[in-house]
Structure 1
Amino acid sequence: MESWILRPYRMARDQSQFYRFITSGFLHADWGHLIFNMIAFYSFGGLVLGVLCNGTGAPGIDGFGGTGGIWRFLLLYLGGIVVSDIPTYFRHRDDREYGSLGASGGVASVLFAGVIFAPLNKIYLMFIPIGIPGFIFGFLYLIYSYYQGRRRGDNINHDAHFYGALYGVALTLVFMPASGLEFIRQISLFLQVNN
């Protein structure tokens, strides 16, 4: 655990420890943390992988084939783990005690790619039987993560959630610019029907 956890203080003083950007994503604080992340990953991973590989689940969007889609999916997930921790590194590089772990940045990247591909799909939170359209959930998630990241009131790296989500949106739009137009079209239709 100690040799893989993200420790910005140590990393800033020994760049050979930059491997922690990726290894920390394979550690979790406890079973609840791991299970929560993997349920979220499983819930959106199939949709995102299907779209990236063959366009399944996203009208008007072509995929990249099996190998091309899988490589892009890995870049989305693993890149999300790394990129989401870069702001954490800079924020805490002088804090001797700070440590962070978990795959939340990568999971948030995949989750938000799923929201771009299917913004009207309902997202259900644990123990709440009412689904929220993905684009509304995404907006609320970003606000909450940003606020909590500034507040620093708990032991959760909310910055990883926030920056992982932004990375997921940005990379998805780089891979598939048409998905942004389809996202806007679906939300516009939703708003017209519900006004």
Structure 2
Amino acid sequence: MSVLDWSDILLLTAMLSAAIAPFIWAEHSKTSVALATVLSLLLVSFVQFAESILGGYAMSHSWVVDFLGIKPSIMADPAESYRMVTAAWLHADWLHVLFNILVVALVGVPLEQRLGSRRWMMVYFLGFIGGNIAWIISHPESSIPAIGASGAAFGILGAYMACWPEDKIEFPLLFLIRAWPVWLIVFVRLGLEVLQIYELQSATAGDSNVAHMAHFGGFFLAYLLARPLARGAPSPLDEVSGASGMGRSMAMREQATSRMGSLEEDPWTLSGKPLHGAAARILSRLREEGDELETRRAWLEELSENAICPICDGEIVAEMNGEVCRLRCTLSGSHLNWP
């Protein structure tokens, strides 16, 4: 379509709002980016579904798919590059979106605990960008729009396989829901992809609208770049953890607790500018109650509102590094990074 009317713009605005709102909330509340991604995909799908119901056609036949999906034949035009991102938030039907959010939730959340939120988001982007590139290269003349977060989902699998293949994750596999090692989940999922491609090539299966090459592209790009990306992540590469589900969460929490830092010496006293009044009382409560991640974060956030940088007298903020909260000077991290 060449011209958007007001109703089209309203729909696109609703989809954009649905896509980004969960990430804004996750950043504000310091919650899981993987779960924010699940909610983002679901909300966009609800908007897409509502539009298709009102229009009287299937989700995959909406003008939005044609407008925002990957169309290899036109992707050489820089003006169409927005499709590289927008296509990853659209889906053909509910089965399509549910498969992807299953992987993002069950595999993505423990991977985020390993990588940290920022690195996880980079892996997610690598996945769907790799998937899109693979689809464009393998189908350069196609004008049929390709959509979905499957490349990103396979990218999550690829990154996990590259960095922590022995981790066990609760996942529905081989007709059972139990904790499986990541390498086995990957082996089965990639094996099914190879089998489906073989059936298509040998004409033993009917036509398919599944972009299998996008799955491989997302998986292998994330697999190749995950280890360099994971350097400096909360979890060491190749660390073996037999825990799964709640057990892994507890293990990651214990690891974060061990990195909280000592409260015995504070930078204000060391700089000859001891805190007074409300700030001193907050610091005292912090030392008394700050042995848990949540309580320490709460008191550090309150302290940031009542104290200033001991070096430059500038504003300080409480920032999260993984699950650990620290105070930092807004002018220079070298002034204050405590505890």
TM-score, with structure 2 as normaliser? 0.44
Q: Please, which of 109, 122, 131 is the counterpart of residue 75 of structure 1?
A: 122
Alignment of 1:3-152 (within 5 A): 3-12=67-76, 14-53=77-116, 70-96=117-143, 98-115=144-161, 116-122=163-169, 124-125=171-172, 128-129=175-176, 131=178, 132-149=180-197, 151=200
Q: Give secondary structure in 2 for the equivalent of 1:25.
A: helix
Rg comparison, structure with higher value: 2
Aligned CA distance change for structure 1 residues 146 and 169 (closer, same or farther; 3 Å): same
Aligned mates of 1:77, 1:112 — CA distance in 2: 10
Q: Which residue of 2 aligns with 1:163?
A: 217
Off by >3 Å, runs of 4+ in structure 1:
146-153
The residue type paired with residue 72 of structure 1 is R
Shift of 1:76: 0.7
Equivalent position SS for 1:125: strand
Is residue 8–residue 92 contact of structure 1 (8 Å, CA) maintained in 2? Answer: yes
- Partner secondary structure for residue 145 of structure 2: coil
**Unaligned 5+ residue runs, structure 2?**
1-63, 202-206, 243-339
Q: CA deviation at 1:122?
A: 4.6
**SS of match in other structure, 2:172:** coil
Where 1:124 maps in the other structure, the secondary structure is strand
CA apart distance, 1:123: 5.2
Report the number of matched residues: 166
Q: Tell me which protein shows more strand as a share of its residues.
A: 2
Moved more, 21-30 or 146-155: 146-155
Higher relative contact order (CA 8 A, sep 6+): 1
Question: Can you give the 5+ residue segments of structure 1 that lack an aligned partner in the other structure?
Answer: 54-69, 187-195
- Code of the aligned partner of 1:39: L
Please state whether the residue corresponding to 1:95 is helix, strand or coil. coil
Provide Cα deviations, 1:95-114, integer angstroms capped at 9, x if missing partner: 23x32100011111113333
**CA deviation map 1:116-157 (0-9, x unaligned):** 325241553368126543212312322432453463641101
